[in-house]
Structure 1
Amino acid sequence: MKIFTIIGGVNGVGKSSLTGILKALRNDMGIIIDCETCENADPLSADCLEKGIDFTEETTLSGKKTLKTIIAAKEKDYYIRLYYVAVSSAEESVRRIENRVSKGGHNIPEEDVKRRFSHRYDDLLTILPYCSEVHFYDNENGFEEVGEYGNGTLTVTAEVPPKWLCDIKNLI
C-alpha cells in the first residue's frame, strides 16, 4: 500500500517536531518534505507520486497545493493519512516561531501566521473528506493525541479536549 502522510497545522505548532517523533515510531513515512522550507517541494511530491513512493509533507494546509496533491495521490491509489497538530492561539504560534528564530530557525511573518490561523478550520475541513485516517494532536504542553477521524466521524479521545478540537467537532 502506497501512503501519503500529511503533517498539518498552522505555522509554529510543532509540525517538524511531531514529524521527528513519528519518524522514530513508524517505518512508513517515506521521503519527508517540509513545504515551508523546501524550495523543491512540488517536484519532490510529483516525483514520489509518479514513482509510487511513500512520502510525507509538512504543511500549513493553506492554499490549494495540498488538496491538489491529495487528489493526485487518490487517483494513484494512495492511502491518505493526516496528523493534525494545533495549539490554542495564533499568539502561541507566533511566540513559538520567535523562539525558533532566536535559536537560528526560519521565520514566518506574524501577519501570515494570523491569517492562516483564522482560516485553519476551513483549510482542514477542505481536505478531511479525502483522508483515510486522521489523528489530532494538541501541542499546548507536549504532544497529546486528542482525537481521531474516520468515516465522517470525529472521535474525541482526550478526557478534557482542547477548545480547538471541540470547535472542529462542531463544524463536522
Structure 2
Amino acid sequence: MEPHESGTPQPGRRSHLVVLAGPNGAGKSTAAPAVLRGQLGVLEFVNADTIARGLSAFSPERAALEAGRIMLTRLRQLASQGQSFAFETTLASRMFAPRITEWMQRGYAFHLIFLWLPSADFAVARVQERVRVGGHDVPAETIRRRYSRCVKNFFTLYQPLASTWRFYDNSGRRPRLLARGERRERISVVQPRLWTEIVEAHNE
C-alpha cells in the first residue's frame, strides 16, 4: 500500500533532508558518498542522473524528463515514511522550495550543501571533461542559463530556509569551505575575500 503523504518523522528521531546543490559540473555526485555517509549518516541518495542512466544507458540526457518524475515520486515516498534522505539539484528551479518548506513543517531538518564554480565557462569545461571520460552531457546553453540562477536561488530562496548550510568552492582538487551557517545564527566565513566577492557579485 502506498504510504500516505502526511507521514512524519518517528517520535524521538529527527529526520534529515540533505540537498547537494551547485551548477552542472560542480562535482555533486562525486562528493555525495563522503558528505552523506561520513558526515550526516544519510544513506538514501536520490539522483536523477543515475535514474536516467538506468533508463537509457547510452543516452541518459534523453531520459532526463522521465528520470525527474521518478525522482520526485521517490522523494515523496521517503518523506511520507519520515526517512532521512538526500538529493542533488542545480537549484536553478524554484520548484523545490514549497516542498522543502512542507517537509520542514513536518519535522525535517534541512541541510544545504552548495558546491560553487567560478563561472559558467568553468562549468561548461567541467562537463566537457566529464563527457570525454564517459560521463553524461548537458548542452552548454543549458549550463550557462542555470549557472546564474542557481547562485541567485541559493542566496534568495534556499539558504534562508536551511537549518544548516555550507558553501564550498569546488574548482580545485577538493572542496574548499568558504562559509557556513545555521538558521537565524551568525554566518561563519572561512575565506572572507572570495566569499565577499561572491556575495557582492550576487547583489549587483
TM-score for both structures, normalised by structure 1: 0.88
1:77 Cα shift? 0.8
Give the residue type in structure 2 aligned to 1:95: A
1:94 is aligned to 124
Residue 60 of structure 1 deviates from its aligned partner by: 0.5
The residue number in structure 2 matching 1:143 is 175
Structure 1 partner of 2:114: 84
Q: CA deviation at 1:166?
A: 3.5
Give the structure 1 partner of residue 137 of structure 2.
107
Indicate the structure (1 or 2) with the bigger Cα radius of gyration: 2
Identify the residue that residue 62 of structure 2 maps to in structure 1. none
| Residue 9 of structure 2: aligned partner | none
Distance 1:36 1:153, change over 3 A: farther
State the identity as a percent. 22
Q: Secondary structure at the match of 1:41?
A: helix
The residue identity in structure 1 corresponding to 2:117 is: V
- Find the aligned partners of 1:126 and 1:152 in 2 and give their Cα distance: 17
CA RMSD of aligned residues (A): 2.0
Equivalent residues of 2:112, 2:162 under 8 A apart: yes
1:16-46 CA-to-partner distances (Å, cap 9, x unmatched) read: 1221221341352231012445311101100
Paired amino acid for 2:160: P
Q: Does residue 35 of structure 2 align to residue 2 of structure 1?
A: no
The aligned residue for residue 45 of structure 1 is 75
Cα distance in 2 for residues equivalent to 1:126 and 1:140 = 24
Deviates more, 1:107-116 or 1:65-74: 65-74
1:49–1:76 Cα contact (<8 Å) kept: no
Distance in 2 of aligned mates of 1:164 and 1:73 = 33
SS at match of 1:111: helix
Q: Which runs of 5+ in 1 are unaligned?
A: none
TM-score (normalizing by structure 2): 0.75
Relative to structure 1, the CA distance from residue 121 to residue 128 in structure 2 (aligned partners, 3 Å threshold; closer, same or farther) is same
Mapped to 2, the partners of 1:111 and 1:68 lie a distance apart of 27
CA apart distance, 1:143: 0.7
Structure 1 residue 73, shift from structure 2 partner:
1.1
Shift of 1:152: 5.8
Q: How far apart, in 2, do the equivalents of 1:106 and 1:164 lie?
A: 31
Quote the offset at 1:75 in angstroms: 2.2
Q: Secondary structure at the match of 2:92?
A: coil
Q: 2:86 aligns with which of 56, 62, 67?
A: 56
2:17 aligned counterpart, secondary structure = strand
Partner SS, residue 16 of structure 1: helix
Which position in structure 1 is the counterpart of 2:159?
128
Deviations 1:68-126 (A, max 9, x none): 33122112110000011101011111111011111111111111110111222321121
Q: Number of aligned residue pairs: give it.
A: 170
Alignment match, 1:32: 45
Correspondence for 2:33: 20
- Read off the aligned partner of 1:9 and give its amino acid letter: G
In proportion to residue count, which structure has more helix? 2
